[in-house]
Structure 1
Amino acid sequence: MSADTVRLWDPVIRIGHWSLVAAFIGDYFLNEAGDGWHRWLGYYAVAVVLVRVVWGFVGPRPARWADFWPRPARLLAHAKALLSGGHMHRLGHSPLGGLLMILMLLLMLGLGVSGFLMEEIDYFWGEDLPRDIHVFMADSLFWLACVHVAAALVESVRTRENLPWSMVTGRRKTLHD
């Protein structure tokens, strides 16, 4: 079996991915909640997510929602392959990977909305609900990101392919006989 590479992840996907990583790390670990940098990184992350949503409709095939949307049949087939020790080789997102990515994007968007609402706290008569939701979503995104990184590393070992590197170079192995 020989392995060639194919261009998979376009610059919009790769720059967006690493921008969200940097924004989340910056806001979660380095910036004080509510300070100027925290807010601006949050606004930037929301803009990146919105670009990604649009790109999912107009971008190249691997970036399109239709290419990897985690429909129940796709999720079931992927789960069966994993449970049987098999591998579901897809050039783009696996069904479970697509589901995880969608959840992380939704949480990032939710963080932007809840962060904005926290700025407008007077509208909520001093309630802590927006802050509590914001903290819950940030912690949930942290743990989903940990699952994402762990899954990419495990799959890299299982498939003998450096999946995180493909998000740097944009290239991915395509296997053929």
Structure 2
Amino acid sequence: MDPLIRIFHWGLVGAFATAWLTAEEIQPVHEFAGYAVAALVGIRFVWGFVGSRYARFAQFVRGPAASLTYVADAARGREPRYLGHNPAGAAMIIALLVTLSGTAFTGWLMEEPARAAAAAHQLQFVVPALADDDDGEGRAGRGDAEGEAEGPLREVHETLANAMLLLVALHLVGVALASFRHQENLARAMVTGRKRPAGAGDIF
């Protein structure tokens, strides 16, 4: 397995975990971790076009029909083994990359009041301004332009971050299921770079 993909994978795990744990607690660390996430995702997008065979999007990204068919086959216990990413795993990778991109981008917008104000203006029709919270005073009610701008943008940022947790949980379930079904430790393969050789019926 591609060394850069393995470095990306574990680097992203560390960066996202750090960003999540330091949110609203240690802001400088949170921001640094967010920039690390953005850099890693950017590298992965580039590598998806110029990297090794199994790293390229063209090799593993398939349409919704292929992913649904794979999930249906997995539910019946007859899904084929893929040496690269299976269709469901490929869909998860795209979902993770898109969600991470949105999370990092909205975090970057909130770094500067001017950016946040421009973006929040566009988001008004999608996310209502936080006029009031449980204590009767929302973030947008801080009485300054920055608070008004950040309200809806922060809502989108936090929603995307929470969506990431759900996607990560589904990803772990999928990895555990595939590891059990095909008798190989995929988490270990992401460390060593080695998977069981192809057998009859495997897709590569």
Distance in 1, matches of 2:65 and 2:165, equals 28
Contact 1:27 1:33 (8 Å CA) reproduced = no
Cα RMSD for the two superposed structures: 1.7
Q: Structure 1 residue aligned with 2:62, among 62, 70, 91?
A: 70
TM-score by length of 1: 0.88
Q: What is the deviation of 1:170? A: 0.9
Post-superposition offset of 1:54: 0.6
Q: Does 1:104 align with 2:62?
A: no
Where do 1:57-136 residues align within 5 Å? Answer: 57-122=49-114, 123-124=116-117, 125=145, 126-127=148-149, 128-136=151-159
Once the two structures are superposed, what CA deviation does each residue of 1:67-96 show, in whole Å capped at 9, x if it has no partner?
111213422431332132212211111111
Task: Output the TM-score relative to the length of structure 2.
Answer: 0.77
Shift of residue 152, structure 1, vs aligned partner: 0.6
Aligned equivalent of 2:21, options 20, 25, 29: 29
Percent of aligned pairs with the same amino acid: 36
Q: Look up the equivalent residue of 1:115 and give its one-letter code.
A: G
Q: 1:163 aligns with which of 186, 189, 192?
A: 186
Q: Contact 1:55 / 1:64 at 8 angstroms: preserved in 2? A: yes
Q: State the structure with bigger RCO (CA 8 A, min sep 6), 1 or 2.
A: 1
Q: Deviations over 1:84-137 (max 9, x none)?
A: 221221111111111111111111111111001112234424231110011000
- Do the aligned residues in 1 keep the contact of 2:68 with 2:88 (CA within 8 Å)? no
Tell me, in whole angstroms, the C-alpha distance in 2 between the residues paired with 1:129 and 1:163. 39
Instruction: Give 2:160's match in structure 1, choosing from 137, 144, 161.
Output: 137
2:12 maps to which residue?
Answer: 20
User: Which secondary structure does the structure 2 equivalent of 1:173 belong to?
Assistant: coil
The answer to whether 1:42 aligns with 2:34 is: yes
Match of 2:138 in 1: none
Distance 1:71 1:33, change over 3 A: farther
The 1-side partners of 2:28 and 2:97 are apart by 22
Counterpart of 1:3 in structure 2 is none
* Counterpart residue number, 2:169: 146
Q: Please tell me whether the aligned partners of residues 61 and 91 of structure 2 are also in contact (alpha carbons under 8 angstroms).
A: yes
Cα 1:106/1:33, change in 2 over 3 Å:
farther
Aligned length: 169
Structure 1 unaligned regions, length at least 5: 1-8
CA contact 1:58–1:64 (8 Å) conserved in 2: yes
How much has 1:34 moved relative to structure 2? 6.8
Q: Could you tell me how far apart the structure 1 residues matched to 2:36 and 2:11 are?
A: 9
User: Once superposed, which parts of structure 1, at least 4 consecutive aligned residues long, lie more than 4 Å away?
Assistant: none
Question: Post-superposition shift, 1:31?
Answer: 4.8
Q: Which runs of 5+ in 2 are unaligned?
A: 118-144
